[in-house]
Chain A
Amino acid sequence: NAGVTQTPKFRVLKTGQSMTLLCAQDMNHEYMYWYRQDPGMGLRLIHYSVGEGTTAKGEVPDGYNVSRLKKQNFLLGLESAAPSQTSVYFCASTDPGTVNQPQHFGDGTRLSIL
């Protein structure tokens, strides 16, 4: 059982380049999330999705776009990368059900923008 898988694990981009980070989960979870973590900071929510075909903005959405075309996948896009987007990106998923359920995280994508 792979859980939450993030692709790629590392990437270096030049300012202005675009890229897409892929998150895949095999737990049939409804909710998926993208976070970024910067040094000395907690995880901050970028965008999230409460189901296939739906997305919503989190705390720090500027400069990012997302898509949830399939239930198991959640894509995070950077259209024009900026050095301020250098960070570690984490994807998570959960199924809210009838009681609180914890989010399950992938191992992260380390992204450097030069």
Chain B
Amino acid sequence: DQQVKQNSPSLSVQEGRISILNCDYTNSMFDYFLWYKKYPAEGPTFLISISSIKDKNEDGRFTVFLNKSAKHLSLHIVPSQPGDSAVYFCAASGFYGGSQGNLIFGKGTKLSVKP
């Protein structure tokens, strides 16, 4: 059973517009959430994170929103640029049981930004 779900396998947006990537989770013990960006033939690169004590975190063009009651987070990219075209992974962690804060990843959303 997937604990972290990214229900949109792909997303296409026009350059300059907003990209919104969504992520849902099921485990209420998760308290830290991250977004990673991955280009082909490269490893995932950390993009932005948010702790469960916050509902928003912003870094330049990237903003992550967390809705704990809905167990939902989203990544907003404004404005979108062609170089943002990549696969975006949502990940979650929490110190419960023997997890040691291990990350649980979603399946990813492939973002294409068209010039």
Residues of A at under 8 Å CB distance from B?
A: 4, 31, 33, 40-45, 48, 50, 56, 58, 90, 92, 96, 100, 102-108
CB <8 Å contact, A105 and B44: yes
Interface set, chain B 38-89, CB cutoff 8 A to A: 41-46, 49, 51, 89
Contact sample, A vs B, 9 pairs, CB 8 Å cutoff? A40-B9, A40-B107, A43-B103, A56-B98, A90-B44, A100-B49, A105-B36, A105-B43, A105-B44
CB <8 Å contact, B107 and A42: yes
- Residues in chain A near residue B4, CB distance under 8 A: 42
Residue in contact with A100 in the complex, picked from B51, B105, B107, CB distance below 8 Å:
B51
Interchain pairs with CB closer than 8 A, number:
53
CB <8 Å contact, B43 and A102: no
A51-B88 Cα distance, complex, nearest whole Å? 29
Residue in contact with A56 in the complex, picked from B32, B34, B91, B100, CB distance below 8 Å:
B100
**Interface band, chain B:** 20 to 34
A50 in contact with B107 given A90-B44, A105-B44, A107-B41 (CB within 8 Å)? no
The 7 closest A-B pairs by CB, nearest first: A42-B105, A105-B43, A102-B46, A43-B105, A100-B32, A107-B43, A42-B107
A44-B93 Cα distance, complex, nearest whole Å? 13
Chain B proximity of A38: nearest CB distance (Å): 10
CB <8 Å contact, B43 and A4: yes
A105's closest neighbor in chain B, by CB? B43
- Residues in chain A near residue B89, CB distance under 8 A: 42-43
A89-B32 Cα distance, complex, nearest whole Å? 24
A112-B46 Cα distance, complex, nearest whole Å? 27
A105-B36 Cα distance, complex, nearest whole Å? 10
CB <8 Å contact, B102 and A102: no
- Residues in chain B near residue A45, CB distance under 8 A: 102-103
